[in-house]
């Protein structure tokens, strides 16, 4: 077959697998995927292609596979109205067709159709067989929920999952005008914590914010991380999205402590108290040592659990209601015994079959107990925050660690031959490889999005506001095949409408606001889709600044969470003083020429921002870092944004960031403590004064002239 035909076949095969041949980069240049990258991505998606010569046969097989699919795995019924379902049949099919509908409630309904009476939507001959697509419409509106529709024809059955969902996600009444505070929980240390933040400190922060008039407390993901071997403390590379991180347990709040003399003796021992004091004095969080200390106490508390029949019964009920916890605990116990990650385990263990002798029972029970305590503590924290009128703002990461529990147990829905990332842009000129496997779009549909629903519910049970990391991933994700440079990755499409339907349905069930992180390369169709389905977007000043004095900060959208920066950016003081440019030059993220160019642009941006703020009547003669910072806050607070988030570290002029993307050992990412303890910064007049002004600005609304 001529090469041009091979290329045409490759293009069609890519289309049928949802692979995007061309994309527009950050400079609006057209980027065409190479045949080699396309082949590797298609292989990761399951296409039988080892080389270009396999493409024609793979295309025929894919066409036949899709035309033999009687029903799509998932169908969305917006507003409960099921649009015409596509039913693919042999052209010779006749007779009666029965549609058996099983509602989520258990109710069953059956409808009868004559196949020949259904309208023909499409027809095609594939491999000598004539097929037709007929349209089937259910005669009545569906209640919101997840339903099964089973088609029966001549004894053969086909099934789809019907998602009946509201068009828009849950939107709280009142319209917004809220403000909240942000700080990573590991950084939020207190005089009573063990050298990092814990749930007790987060609860105290929620109470303090409420006392100042705030309505939200935001932090980074609270999911478990590898804190020993392997060591990966990043909250965006969790072991699982289905359980919580026991690292944040506050030991003093565990009910077993009061009746457990061995645990009390351990806590009061001189060596233990000395170690905790040392942990508190460290400038960086020592995850390994702190987790080891907490585990020693938790293991003592677990032994004392047997002396509390009521609590023990509650523990057992929790395990019965949450089988994933025991499975996760066994996984962690096997890792601890073997000292290796699951890809190197023997076949039965690697493939998900664990027996009692494969792990230490004590280690398994520890992980189950720790998860139970964490589940209880977070539930109590969320309830207390709600009672004070404060929403917990949680963050749902895009991916999970490749060696973690979720990929091990749910590997069918992950594409293990690729990793997710981002194409080259102005900051990351070589592209980004995030080192975690992307979800497989088709296999996720085939399981009815069970895994996605599970980890979404896990967060929504406590989160009044949930931020979706890289919301563009609902539409498409940049895949980097193994062995391929990040700059040569390829976009793979997902069924965005199905994700939005699930988000809308679950957000209403839990009465939670959904926020999409829409920063970076955002295709033109993403934000309209977010607005159509009721998702809030982000407005981040650092992304919006221009050199035009008349619109240096731009217009803040009404349906947005507004902030000056994010956890991946330098604090405002570092930005204003140019320290971020100097630091990135030192870290090798910029060369001298790039640093000079960015420095010139920064000076122009600063001049435009000062002029803009003065034009709005928000800034006087002073141009100190703090004066400009407060003026920017005032602009955000007097905007129509639903929520304004204040990074607490900005309030005292912090210059060191929490994370510098594209660095590993060069910078202590995810480990930097706040400069002050919770008790200290709560008493700093400048901190309290700024937040009181924030509250006043939010309550006053738009100033005159705006």
Please identify, among 136, 165, 194, the residue that sits at the C-terminal boundary of a domain: 165
Q: Is 596 part of a structural domain of the chain?
A: no
The answer on 91 and 43 residing in a single domain is no
Residues 337 and 270: their CA atoms lie apart, in Å, by: 31
Residue 703 pLDDT: 41
Q: What is the DSSP string of 381-432?
A: HHHHHHHTT-EEEEEE-S---TTSHHHHHSGGGB-TTEEEEE---SS-TT-E
Supply the pLDDT for residue 4: 46
- Domain span at residue 95 reads 80-165
Same domain, yes or no, for 85 and 161?
yes
| Widest distance between CA atoms in the chain | 84
- Helices marked H in 496-591: 496-510, 526-532, 541-544, 572-577, 579-586
- The alpha carbon torsion through 661, 666, 668, 674 (nearest 10 deg) reads -80
Cis-peptide into 678, omega within 30 deg: no
Q: Which residues pair with 217 in a beta bridge?
A: 181, 392
Helix (H, G, I), strand (E, B) or coil at 118: coil
Q: What angle in degrees, to the nearest 10, is found between the helix axes of 261-268 and 270-281?
A: 60
Of 325, 276, 183, 293, nearest to 227 by C-alpha is 293
Question: What pLDDT score does 1 carry?
Answer: 41
Apex 114 CA angle, 113 and 119, nearest 5: 95
- Among residues 692, 693, 682, 685, which one has the least CA distance to residue 188? 682
Is 86 found in the same domain as 62?
no
Instruction: List the beta strands (DSSP E) in 302-354.
Output: none
Over residues 633-691, the pLDDT tens digits come to: 999 999 999 999 999 999 999 999 999 998 888 999 999 999 999 999 999 999 999 99
Residue (of 38, 46, 18, 44) closest to 417 by Cα position: 44
Identify whether residues 56 and 85 lie together within a single domain. no
Burial class of residue 123 (count of CB atoms within 10 Å of its CB; 0-12, 13-18, 19+):
exposed
Q: Tokens at residue 194, please?
A: 């063990």
Closest CA to 458 of 356, 382, 536, 570: 382
Q: Quick check: is 433 in a domain?
A: no
Contact 21, 14 (CB under 8 A): yes
* CA-derived radius of gyration, the chain: 27
pLDDT tens digits for range 100-128: 999 999 999 999 999 999 999 999 999 88
Q: What's residue 427's pLDDT?
A: 67
Contact status, residue 245 vs residue 224, Cβ threshold 8 Å: yes
* CATH code at position 108: 2.60.40
**Residue 125 is assigned to a structural domain of this protein:** yes
- Across-strand partners of 560? 537
Residue that finishes a domain, picked among 165, 189, 204? 165
Tally of CB atoms within 10 A around 316: 12
Specify the number of domains making up the chain.
Answer: 2
Q: Quick one: 141 and 91 in the same domain?
A: yes
Residue with tokens 């605990």: 329
Residue numbers of the chain with a pLDDT score lower than 50 = 1-4, 702-706
**What is d(CA 539, CA 517) in angstroms, rounded to the nearest whole number?**
9
pLDDT of residue 229: 86
Answer yes or no: do 113 and 147 share one domain: yes
pLDDT on residue 236 = 97
pTM exceeding 0.75: yes
518/526 Cα distance (integer angstroms): 8
Q: Please tell me whether residues 151 and 92 are part of one structural domain.
A: yes
Say whether both 87 and 145 belong to one domain: yes
Do 38 and 9 share a domain, yes or no? yes
Which stretch of DSSP H or E encloses residue 678?
Answer: helix 678-681
CB 165 within 8 A of CB 144: yes
Question: Backbone phi, then psi, for 390, in 5-degree steps?
Answer: -110, 130
Distance CA 496, CA 17 (A): 15
Residue 377 counted as domain residue: no
Smallest CA-to-CA distance from 530 within 540, 541, 522 is with 522
With respect to residue 17, please indicate whether it lies within any of the assigned structural domains: yes
In whole angstroms, how far apart are CA 359 and each of 174, 235, 336, 501?
A: 52, 27, 8, 40
Q: In what order do the strands lie in the sheet with 560-563?
A: 513-516, 465-468, 391-396, 216-218, 178-182, 643-647, 560-563, 537-540
17 vs 40: CA distance, rounded Å: 13
Q: Which of 165, 191, 207 is the last residue before a domain boundary?
A: 165
Q: Are residues 43 and 98 in the same domain?
A: no
Residue 643 domain flag? no
Distance CA 185, CA 201 (A): 8
Residue 39 and residue 107 share a domain: no
Please check whether residue 10 lies inside any domain of the structure: yes
Please indicate, yes or no, if residue 152 is contained in any of the structural domains: yes
Provide the token pair at 56: 């024609």
Answer for the pair 418, 437: CB distance below 8 angstroms, yes or no: yes
Residue 445 backbone dihedrals phi, psi, to 5 degrees: -65, -40
């Amino acid at each position: 077959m001529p090469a041009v035909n091979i290329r045409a076949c490759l293009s069609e095969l890519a289309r049928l697998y949802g692979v995007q041949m061309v994309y527009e980069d950050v400079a609006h240049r057209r980027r065409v995927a190479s045949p080699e990258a396309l082949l590797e991505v298609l292989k990761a998606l399951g296409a039988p292609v080892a080389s270009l010569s396999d493409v024609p046969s793979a295309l025929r097989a894919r066409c036949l596979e899709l035309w033999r699919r009687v029903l799509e795995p998932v169908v969305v019924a917006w507003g409960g109205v099921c649009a015409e379902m596509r039913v693919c049949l042999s052209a010779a099919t006749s007779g009666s067709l029965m549609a058996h509908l099983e509602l989520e409630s258990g109710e069953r309904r059956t409808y009868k159709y004559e196949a020949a009476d259904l309208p023909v939507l499409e027809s095609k001959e594939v491999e000598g067989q004539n097929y037709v697509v007929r349209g089937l419409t259910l005669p009545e509106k569906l209640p919101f929920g997840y339903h099964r529709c089973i088609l029966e024809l001549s004894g053969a059955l086909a099934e789809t999952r019907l998602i009946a969902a509201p068009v828009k996600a849950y939107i709280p009444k009142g319209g917004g005008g809220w403000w909240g505070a942000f700080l990573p929980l590991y950084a939020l240390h207190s005089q009573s914590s063990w050298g990092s933040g814990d749930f007790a400190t987060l609860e105290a922060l929620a109470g303090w914010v409420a006392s100042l008039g705030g309505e939200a407390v935001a932090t980074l993901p609270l999911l478990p991380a590898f804190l020993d071997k392997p060591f990966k403390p990043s909250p965006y590379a969790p072991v699982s999205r289905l359980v919580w991180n026991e690292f944040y347990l506050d030991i003093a709040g565990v009910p077993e402590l009061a009746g457990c003399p061995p645990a009390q003796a351990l806590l009061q021992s001189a060596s233990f108290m000395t170690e905790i004091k040392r942990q508190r004095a460290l400038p960086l969080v020592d995850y390994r040592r702190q987790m080891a200390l907490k585990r020693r106490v938790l293991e003592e508390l677990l032994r004392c659990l047997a002396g509390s029949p009521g609590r023990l019964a509650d523990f057992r009920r929790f395990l019965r209601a949450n089988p994933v916890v025991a499975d996760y605990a066994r996984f962690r116990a096997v890792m601890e015994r073997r000292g290796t990650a699951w890809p190197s385990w023997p076949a039965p263990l690697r493939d998900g079959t664990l027996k009692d002798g494969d792990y230490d029972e004590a280690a398994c029970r520890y992980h189950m107990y720790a998860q139970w305590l964490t589940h209880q503590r977070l539930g109590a924290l969320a309830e207390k925050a709600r009672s004070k009128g404060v929403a917990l703002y949680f963050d749902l990461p895009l991916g999970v660690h490749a060696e973690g529990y979720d990929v091990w147990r749910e590997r069918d829905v992950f594409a293990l031959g690729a990793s997710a990332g981002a194409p080259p842009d102005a900051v990351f000129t070589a592209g980004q490889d995030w080192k975690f496997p992307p979800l497989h779009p088709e296999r996720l549909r085939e399981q009815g999005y069970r895994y996605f629903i599970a980890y979404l519910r896990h967060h929504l049970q406590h989160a009044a506001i949930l931020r979706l990391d890289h919301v563009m991933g609902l539409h498409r994700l940049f895949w980097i095949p193994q062995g391929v440079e990040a700059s040569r990755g390829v976009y793979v499409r997902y069924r965005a409408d199905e994700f939005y339907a699930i988000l809308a349905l679950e957000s209403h069930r839990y009465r939670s606001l959904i926020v999409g992180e829409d920063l970076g390369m955002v295709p033109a169709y993403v934000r309209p889709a977010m607005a159509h389905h009721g998702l809030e977007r982000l407005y981040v000043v650092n992304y919006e600044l221009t050199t035009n004095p008349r619109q240096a900060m731009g217009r803040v959208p009404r349906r947005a969470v507004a902030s000056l920066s994010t956890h991946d950016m330098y604090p405002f003081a570092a930005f204003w003083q140019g320290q971020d440019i100097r630091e990135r030059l030192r870290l090798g993220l910029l060369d001298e020429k790039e640093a000079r160019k960015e420095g010139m642009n920064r000076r122009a941006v600063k001049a435009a921002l000062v002029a803009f703020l003065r034009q709005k009547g928000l800034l006087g003669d002073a141009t100190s870092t703090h004066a400009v910072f407060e003026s920017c806050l005032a602009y955000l607070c007097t905007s129509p944004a639903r929520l304004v988030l204040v990074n607490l570290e900005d309030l005292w002029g912090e210059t060191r960031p929490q994370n510098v993307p594209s660095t590993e050992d060069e910078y202590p990412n995810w480990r930097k403590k706040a400069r002050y303890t919770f008790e200290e910064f709560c008493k700093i007049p400048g901190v309290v004064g700024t937040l009181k002004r924030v509250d006043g600005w939010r309550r006053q609304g738009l100033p005159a002239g705006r």
